[in-house]
Amino acid sequence: MTEKFISIAEAMKRGHGKVAIRGWIYRERGSNELKFLVIRDSSDIIQCVLKKEKFAKQWAEIDKLQVEASVEIEGAIKEDKRAPTGFEVEADKITIVGLSDKFPINKDLNEELLGDRRHLWLRSRKMNAILKIRSTVTGALHEYFRSKDFYEFQSPILIPGGAEEGPTMFSVDYFGKKMYLAQTWQLYAEAAMYSLEKIYCIAPSFRAEKSKTTRHLTEYWHTEMEVAWANLDELMAYAEEMTKHVIKRVLEKNKKELEILGRDWKKLEPSLKKKFPHITYDQVLKILKEKKKTNVPWGKDLRTIEEEKFMEDHDTPVFVTNYPKEIMAFYKPRDPKNPKTALCFDMLGPENNHEIIGGSVRDTNIDELKKSLKAKGEKLEDYKYYFDIHSYGAIPHGGYGLGTERLIKWICGLETIKDAIGFPRTMTRYNP
């Protein structure tokens, strides 16, 4: 007879009459005569009141119930302005399903201690809200790419050494040989692009990042795409439309969750309505110098503080294009119109969110690729595979990678990327 139970959200939508709900005790307080149990389920929380006179036989048990015990409650629901979510159930019946030990989380725990108890902290309203928004975000990303006729293509996570190996890759013992965890699907995606033309994937990427910033994980979900025949402007158009689509879906589905997080969702609206500015690296240096009294020598990457100063004047993401060729990955081609720079972009997020997407056209000129690799001290024989895929009918193409958690961090207004994923992995946090 499980059908008789309805979600707390559904019960509040009905607003009157008998309801049967079930969930976990979120808060409890009581007196001799009354017990107030705030019950949570995945949908919401609601206050239930139990009167001793109705529960004489069970009272001793009810009185001992601790936070997170699971219960089924039947009773009459009515509006009550004083209750935390505006409704109250006056219980006629309670069934105790699972008792709870003393719950080891309270409001005084710091980030480290909450991290140690992550498996239990997921039950908090905060994590519940974030995980719902995360689900909307990944759903909207799939929806977006599929609506644009992209195929979903998966690449291996275990990859041989060679291309792009280095200090930021995790190695794995593979039957006595060394293999690595992929940092990106790109080199495989380019191979598959020659078959499917428009592809995307949402999968974990691994980076042995020693940086302890609020935007780096060692395992993150990388949303990547690769498109045949695309130029830089087309890639940025996809990135912008995709970002707007995700925000639109979150604002449609998750205003309640954004409010639980205390996120001022109005701050997301400019990103829906306005076109994201496009600006070159050269122009950014000029603005930093003239308006922010900050000198960046040409050829240096923008540092955190410089990105923040530049983004102060923007309330939407900004595409910064044409970074210096020398500091870019080997596969980013020179811009024929400005050969010191590469045909690439970073999409920087507002509100101190830094790089959310990085993308580029891909170089298919094998001589140029070899020159760039040599300049970076790479061994050419490691890249035979890559030269191969561009040796049979090479075409212009490109793609980008989105840090899914960085997008979630921005949308939710989180202080740290660690809260954008259920069980974060960083250099110092890998448990539970």
| Binding region for ligand ATP (CB under 6 A) | 207, 209, 216-217, 220, 222, 355-358, 401-403, 405-406
Sequence-separated (6 or more) residues with CB below 8 Å from residue 419: 126, 127, 130, 409, 412
Cis, bond preceding 432 (omega within 30 deg of 0): yes
E strand map for 310-406: 318-321, 334-335, 338-342, 344-349, 354-361, 397-403
Span of 7-15, 126-134, 258-266, 355-363 interacting with Mn ion by CB under 5 A? 355-363
Distance CA 118, CA 142 (A): 28
Sequence-separated (6 or more) residues with CB below 8 Å from residue 351: 267, 410, 413
Binding-residue total with Mn ion (CB under 5 A): 1
CB of 97 to ligand ATP, least distance (A): 39
String of DSSP letters for 105-158: --TT--HHHHHHTHHHHTTSHHHHHHHHHHHHHHHHHHHHHHHTTPEE----SE
**Tokens 């598959």 sit at which residue?**
192
Tell me which of Mn ion, ligand ATP, none is bound by residue 244, counting a contact when its beta carbon lies within the kind-specific cut-off of 5 to 8 angstroms.
none
**Tokens 């595979």 sit at which residue?**
385
399 near Mn ion, judged by CB under 5 A: no
Q: Compute the CA torsion angle 369, 375, 379, 383 (nearest 10 deg).
A: -20
**Which residue, among 233, 265, 227, has the nearest Cα to 249 in the 3D structure?**
265
Distance CA 347, CA 401 (A): 10
DSSP 324: B
Span of 130-138, 253-261, 266-274, 354-362 interacting with Mn ion by CB under 5 A? 354-362
CB of 224 to ligand ATP, least distance (A): 8
> Which CB, 132 or 406, lies closer to ligand ATP?
406
Tell me which of Mn ion, ligand ATP, none is bound by residue 403, counting a contact when its beta carbon lies within the kind-specific cut-off of 5 to 8 angstroms.
ligand ATP
Is the CB of residue 73 less than 8 Å from the CB of residue 20?
A: yes
Sequence-separated (6 or more) residues with CB below 8 Å from residue 310: 284, 287, 288, 292, 302, 318, 348
Name the strand (E) or helix (H) holding 93: strand 87-98
CB of 221 to Mn ion, least distance (A): 16
Is the CB of residue 314 less than 8 Å from the CB of residue 352?
A: no
Span of 26-34, 113-121, 284-292, 350-358 interacting with Mn ion by CB under 5 A? 350-358
Tell me which of ligand ATP, Mn ion, none is bound by residue 405, counting a contact when its beta carbon lies within the kind-specific cut-off of 5 to 8 angstroms.
ligand ATP
23 near Mn ion, judged by CB under 5 A: no
358 near Mn ion, judged by CB under 5 A: yes
**Which residue, among 351, 369, 331, 348, has the nearest Cα to 236 in the 3D structure?**
348
Tell me which of Mn ion, ligand ATP, none is bound by residue 190, counting a contact when its beta carbon lies within the kind-specific cut-off of 5 to 8 angstroms.
none
Tell me which of ligand ATP, Mn ion, none is bound by residue 356, counting a contact when its beta carbon lies within the kind-specific cut-off of 5 to 8 angstroms.
ligand ATP
> Which CB, 63 or 209, lies closer to ligand ATP?
209
> Which CB, 75 or 317, lies closer to ligand ATP?
317
Tell me which of Mn ion, ligand ATP, none is bound by residue 424, counting a contact when its beta carbon lies within the kind-specific cut-off of 5 to 8 angstroms.
none
> Which CB, 360 or 364, lies closer to Mn ion?
360
CB of 229 to ligand ATP, least distance (A): 22
User: In the complex, which residue's CB is closest to Mn ion?
Assistant: 358
CB of 261 to ligand ATP, least distance (A): 20
> Which CB, 43 or 218, lies closer to ligand ATP?
218
User: In the complex, which residue's CB is closest to ligand ATP?
Assistant: 403
359 near Mn ion, judged by CB under 5 A: no
CB of 301 to ligand ATP, least distance (A): 8
CB of 68 to ligand ATP, least distance (A): 32
Q: Beta 70-79 vs 87-98: how paired, if at all?
A: antiparallel
CB of 405 to ligand ATP, least distance (A): 5
Q: Which residues bind Mn ion (CB under 5 A)?
A: 358
